[in-house]
Amino acid sequence: MRRNLWIDRDRLGVEGTSYGGQLSAWLITQTNLFKAAIPAAAIINLISYNYMTYYNQYEQMEWGLFPHQGNMMDILWERSALKHVAKVHTPTMLIHGENDNDVPIAEAEQYYIALKDVDVESVMVRYPREGHGLREPNHVVDSIDRSIAWYRKHFPSGR
């Protein structure tokens, strides 16, 4: 932002889907820079994810160990957004497909409950019949409309 003075610090948002959603959920636990966030289909808790997904060997492939080996549970928990939720102040809209087998919707549900527990303004949007990403045209349009409205609500107006 120091090099690109055109960036408006008061109108920064963060969003992404899948790993981008995971990163978005993580970033708001580490900084208050963003005025609004929209993580979609995000892994929130690396431990619960391992035991609910079709990709239950993800951690073993990534780390070389299963979660129950060595100190992997501690490492996975430390790197999970859920562990750090008490540091979040960014209004967050979670988006998830109800039939997501890659990242089960329980990941979003955990974060939504935790965000409410720490008094962060949050909304959870669940799309029926959708998997890992939105495919139905009416759901795609709805998610775009909701995202624009979310940013308009949380970014200062008049610019």
User: 24, 80, 122, 132: which is the annotated catalytic residue?
Assistant: 132
Check: CB of residue 72 under 8 Å from CB of residue 66: yes
Q: DSSP string spanning 90-136?
A: S-EEEEEETT-SSS-THHHHHHHHHHHHTT--EEEEEETT-BSB--S
Q: Which two tokens stand for residue 85?
A: 């939720």
Residue 75's DSSP bridge partners are: none
User: 18, 48, 84, 89: which is the annotated catalytic residue?
Assistant: 18
Q: Is 18 among the residues known to form the active site?
A: yes
Q: Is 132 among the residues known to form the active site?
A: yes
Q: Give me the active site residues, please.
A: 18, 132
